[in-house]
Amino acid sequence: MDGPIEKMMVYIDGTEQSITAAQYSLCLTRLTGARLIALYVIDTKALEDLVKARIFLKEEQMDYERDLKEDSKRYLNHVRELAQRKGIQIETKSVMGRVHRELVREVKEEKIDLLIIGELSRIKSRRDEFYDETERAMRSVPCSVLIVKDEDRVWDLYESL
Amino acid sequence: MAIVELISPEVVKVPLAAGTKEDVLRELVLLLKDAGKITDTDGALDALRKREEMGSTGLESGIAVPHAKTDGVDRLTMAIGVSREGIDYDSLDGKPSRLFFLMLAPPNQTGPHLEALAEIAKLARSKEFCDVLMNASSSEEIVRLFRVD
């Protein structure tokens, strides 16, 4: 029988919390020998919704999409550097679409058995519960989910690798 | 980033004194400046004006979402204003705008900017909630409404 964690995915969205999650996932990779994929989702659905709502013009949609693609490159490069610094293999992947749907799709397609995400924002209003795409993904993916907390401790763990 | 994390009574104005499109942009930008959220007031105003020149951000049902990317802010920032009389804002339905969500973001924070605008788009669909906001009597009440709703 295979080990409990064979293939992990860490979700990167550019927040500090997601970078902490990436550091923790590298620690777990070293410990378990599991394969690791870092995923960034370019939220094109939000862009389309803003055009539909008439908040965005078509030109803005294209402009922001370009920015998001650049963000995705920048953050995934950063995660790759974190891995290289510790001599750990990582695969990076950038996809476009609606965040929670793409996360679920990728988890299924890649046969991921552990999804790792950064600490979620504190719920301050009932609306937040419905709007958080990561939380929706967390509820919908078929695999186990690990939420990484305690940035300082994770940094120490990563540095000690 | 949730809207509730961006707002406090200091960045909400009820009622707005402005009577024109230009004045409402200025009033809300100055509100953000007084709250210490803007480093370059003129730059922020210019960015908002340029965006409005491309096409009005006045939607239907009295809502307007002026927004822009600018180096005049260090982080995503937002102001809310309510006009009692309504302001001619070249809105889609031609009706005066009463509820203003003004958003400014530095060019390198597209993700959080998009997330916050998407939340506003969803809010704008809730006529009931927007009506409650438009009829709020104070900035504190607006902030409270975001926290409890």
pLDDT interval class at B112 (50, 70, 90): confident
Q: B8 at the A interface (CB within 8 A)?
A: no
ipTM, two decimals: 0.89
d(CA A125, CA A23): 30
Query: What CA dihedral angle connects A76, A140, B2 and B57, to 10 degrees?
Result: 90
Q: Which residue has the higher pLDDT, A131 or A84?
A: A84
Q: Which residue has the higher pLDDT, A133 or A110?
A: A110
pLDDT at B108 over 90: no
pLDDT at B31 over 80: yes
pLDDT number for residue A80: 98
Residues of A with Cβ-Cβ distance to B124 under 8 angstroms: 53, 55
Tell me which residue of A39, A32, A34, A42 sits closest to A18, measured CA to CA. A39
Residues of B with Cβ-Cβ distance to A127 under 8 angstroms: 2, 4, 119, 123, 146, 149
- DSSP letters spanning A37-98: EEEEEEEHHHHHHHHHTTSS-HHHHHHHHHHHHHHHHHHHHHHHHHHHHTT---EEEEEEE-
Name the closest residue on chain B to residue A57, using Cα atoms: B55
pLDDT number for residue A121: 67
Q: Which residue has the higher pLDDT, A63 or B149?
A: A63
pLDDT at A122 over 80: no
Contact across the interface for A14 and B111, Cβ inside 8 Å: yes
Domains in chain A, start-ordered, CATH in brackets?
Answer: 7-154 (3.40.50.620)
Residues of B forming the active site = 67
d(CA A133, CA A121): 11
How do residues B37-59 score in pLDDT, each as one tens digit? 999 999 999 999 999 999 999 99
How do residues A73-118 score in pLDDT, each as one tens digit? 999 999 999 999 999 999 999 999 999 999 999 999 999 999 999 9
Query: Looking at the whole model, is its pTM more than 0.90?
Result: no
Residue A135 tokens, joined? 């939380």
Tell me which residue of B100, B130, B87 sits closest to B11, measured CA to CA. B100
pLDDT at A8 over 60: yes
